[in-house]
Structures are given as C-alpha cells and as structure tokens.
Amino acid sequence: MESQLTNLSDLNLKDSALTIDDFELIKVIGTGSYGKVILSKKRDTSQVYAIKTLNKKHLIKKNQVEHTIAERSILENVTHPFIIELAYAFQTKNKLYFVLEFCPGGELFFHLSRIGNFDEKILKPENVLIDKDGYAKLTDFGLSKENIKTNSDAKTLCGTPEYLAPEIVDRKGHGRAVDWWSVGCIIYEMLTGQPPFTLQNGNRDELFENIRKCNVQIPKNISPQCEDLLLKLFVANPDDRLGGGPNDGVDVMQHPWFAGVDWDMIMTKQIKPPFKPRLQSNTDVRYIDETFTKQNVNNSPESLVDSLKGGMWEGFTYTGKTDLM
C-alpha cells in the first residue's frame, strides 16, 4: 500500500484550516458509488464550487486509494482550458473533499438525451461537462494514470465495460491509445445515440468478444469521412490505432473529418460554442438532472484531521487555485 501512496507527499502542498463549514451546501448535483457532488458557495467569497465528497472506507474497501490519489495529483498539476480545475482539497476523519469549479451547463449527454434519439439510461460518458460559456470540460480522473509513455504502461482493468478498449479487456497493459478508442466511442454515441459496443442481457463475454474483434456497425447515414475516422479509431492493436503512434493526437486532429477545424482558435476559445447555458444565477441548476437535485444535501458533522500528520492520506490538502471563474 505505501508504495502506491508516496507520490502524494511529493506534491506542492501547504496546510490549511479549510473545512466543510467554510461552505454553504446548496444542492446535490451528482452521486456515485463512493460519494456525491454538492453545489456549494464559499462563505467568505461567495464563490460557487462543486464539492466532490468521497467516503474513505468505501475507497479502501474497493481498492480505489491509488486511483483517488492519482486524480488528486492530476487535478493539481494539469492546467488546460477544457479540463475541470481543482480549487481546494481537504479531509475529515471519514471523508475526502475535492473542491472543483462548477459547470452549470451540466453533463453533455443531459442535453443530447433531450434533443435526439438518445436513451438516457444507456449514455455513460458523464465526465464531459458544459461550463457557463458553453465549452466542454473533462472531469473525473479517478481511473487515470500518471506518467504513461507507451501503449502498455498501465495494467488496471477498470472503467465502464462498454467503453473498454481491447487491450484493457485482454489485460495486456494499456497507455494513451485507449483515450483515442474512447474518443471514437463518444463520437459514435453523439452521432447515433448509443455506444458502438453494447452489453446485451448482461453478457459481458459477448461484449468483450465484440470489442476484441472491433465488431462495430457503422450506420449508413454516417459520412464516409467520419466512417473512416471511426474505423481507424476502433483498431484492436493500439500501435496501429489512429493516435496510438508517436504523433499521438496530431494524427487524429489532421484526419479529413476535422478538415476546416482551427484547433488554435478552439484552444483559445475564439470559436463560440453552438450552445450557451441560459442561467438566472451562478447557482442555477436547471441543467442538472432532478434525480440529483432532489436529494438531501445533508452532510453529517465530522472531526477535522491534520492532513500533515501521516497515514495513507497524508498530503491530500491543497489550497492552490482560488480564482476560478
């Protein structure tokens, strides 16, 4: 266990007296197997955040300690216009808290399920959020790995079954190329309303066999350029997959389906999104599913622990980014 936890103590850390009492808890905006996400307002600044709470016992029981620490490290060290930002992190005796920027536009697929032939129960890539200006942001890096340099550095079998790449299914070790497989899954789902590989009658063996063989049906209404892109992303050998080579994402960005896309303008947000959330306030939750917002916010009182006194969660505290907009 200790060998998995040493990286956290190497982060740029400083102690803080920040506690959950420093926030007004407004609405539940997400739930998961390890905790929930709560829309909150910092009392001294009125800044709005999404606080992700995780139960320590559940994380330990489900062997998610390493994944949680990786997520904590990634969120501190990555700065990107389309990745969710971490403002603070702190802990109590029983819980961990990630204080993240709030994306009031909700989940991408919350919108897609309402404008087309999308089955909301099937849609799974819920880690694509929409910010207040309509730009997409990625969140939830709990299953991510750091320092991945080849297509076989990571070994863990994890993730939603329908979106696993062949190398994950076969436990051959995986790397960055799995992300391009996932890009193919998201593109396919956005265009058709369902994942390219689906779990039928709970038969995982059949699902995994289809993934291994890349048995994907491309609908006739998909353009030839998009079909070519998808077929090059759904390749079993990660080294042969588009984006799996030394050029990484450059090869994907240069595919003909993206012809005419000015990536520099996208990175600098000079291209306006086709949708911008219509918000009445900075705590508006109209784009958050009522399944979440109707839940009780209740946060039971807990004793504060000093995060610098050792243990598996040593160094979890973070007070680096306080100017999120």
Determine whether the annotation assigns residue 62 to a binding site: yes
| Distance in Å from the first CA to the final CA of the chain | 37
Same-domain pairing of 251 and 145: yes
pLDDT value, residue 202: 83
Region 8-28: mean pLDDT is 70
Average pLDDT over residues 58-85: 88
**Which residues make Cβ contacts (< 8 Å) with residue 61, sequence separation at least 6?**
none
Which helix (H) or strand (E) is 234 found in, with range?
none
Task: Report if residue 274 sits inside a domain.
Answer: no
Same structural domain for residues 129 and 247?
A: yes
CATH number at residue 22: 3.30.200.20
Segments forming the whole domain that contains residue 132: 108-267
**Pair (144, 70) in one structural domain:** no
Q: Are 208 and 170 in contact (CB under 8 A)?
A: no
Q: 242 in helix, strand or coil? A: coil
Task: Indicate whether 318 belongs to any domain.
Answer: no
Does residue 90 share a domain with residue 193?
no
d(CA 300, CA 320): 26
- Clarify whether residues 28 and 154 are in a common domain: no
The answer to whether residues 173 and 208 belong to one domain is yes
d(CA 290, CA 122): 18
Q: What is the pTM of this model?
A: 0.80
Number of domains in the chain: 2
CATH number at residue 223: 1.10.510.10
The C-alpha torsion from 126 through 132 and 133 to 136, rounded to 10°, is -10
Q: Which pLDDT belongs to residue 215?
A: 93
Q: What are 156-185's pLDDT values in tens digits?
A: 444 578 888 999 998 887 688 888 999 999
Cα 56 to Cα 35: distance, rounded to the nearest angstrom: 9
Q: Which two tokens stand for residue 9?
A: 């103590």
- Asked if residue 40 is part of any domain, the answer here is yes
Residue 114 lies in a domain: yes
- Please check the confidence at residue 146 and state whether its pLDDT lies above 70: no
On whether both 122 and 259 belong to a single domain, the answer is yes
127/245 same-domain check: yes
